[in-house]
Amino acid sequence: MEKLKLVKSNSHIVSSIIEVPEGPNGIVIAVHGFSSSKEGSTYQLLLERLPAAGYGMIAIDLPGHGTEESARELLRVGDAIDSIEAAEKYVTANYPDVKICYFASSFGAWLTGLYISQREHNGRKAFFRSAAVNMPELFIKENPTELEKQYLRDLETKGYFDTDMDLDASVRITKGLFQDFMETDLFRDFNPDRFGQHQIIMAHGEKDQVIDPDAAKRFAELFNIPIIIFPDEGHSLAEHKGTADQVISRAIELFNS
């Protein structure tokens, strides 16, 4: 495994790791979820499974996430998409003839959905794990709780608030990011055929308390995407022994197809 520091056009660095076996079948761009990082347990498991299956992997830290350089950049939707693009540019430049695939979780799947809809890219196979298809609804509420009302007050007075949502780590939400969420709707903006036809598979837990599984099912039906439902799993898709491995096996099946 090698650490990479990818420099974006705004001069911010995308903290990344890469592992590529000899003569790879493809390289997977891995995008973590909100408040996670490239060091998350799913991505460590991917590092074990993908090379053994003949696939390389490049995993990035999104802006405002992780403990390295990426954490210094404030999180904005466009800048996060730029980070995915930087990873793909690196792969394309260094492995020009190798197939590109995507494995993205939760918020990362939401971003990757936007990325393949808005930016020219070479990958045509994407696996969305616990996709946050309705991501803005986590922050934009019709009936906010008292804590959420305090967040909104902080947003007005300080220009930001730091999340406290029982997640892996706190993430700073700025006025700019909040505005991004208000202006973005993946149900409206998703256009996977704009740059070529894609094969996409979703996986979701029936007991997901973070992203409503019914929303994931509606999205899958709207865009004719196969969706694998794990009846006894929540958002992590890792609460029961073997589920995380099953998810990665299904992703590898997609990448091999």
Q: Where are the domains of the chain?
A: 2-135+185-256
Helix then strand then coil, in percent of the chain rounded to 5, is 40, 20, 40
**CATH architecture group of domain 2-135+185-256:** 3-Layer(aba) Sandwich (3.40)
Looking at residue 170, its pLDDT comes to: 79
d(CA 200, CA 102): 9
Strands lying side by side in the sheet with 2-7: 2-7, 13-19, 55-60, 26-31, 100-105, 125-129, 199-205, 227-230
Per-residue pLDDT in tens (0 to 9) along the chain, 257 residues: 999 999 999 999 999 999 999 999 999 999 999 999 999 999 999 999 999 999 999 999 999 999 999 999 999 999 999 999 999 999 999 999 999 999 999 999 999 999 999 999 999 999 999 999 999 999 998 899 998 899 899 999 999 998 865 556 778 999 999 999 999 999 999 999 999 999 999 999 999 999 999 999 999 999 999 999 999 999 999 999 999 999 999 999 999 99
pTM as predicted: 0.96
Q: Are 102 and 31 in contact (CB under 8 A)?
A: yes
> 13 pairs with which residues across the strands?
7
The residue type at 142: E
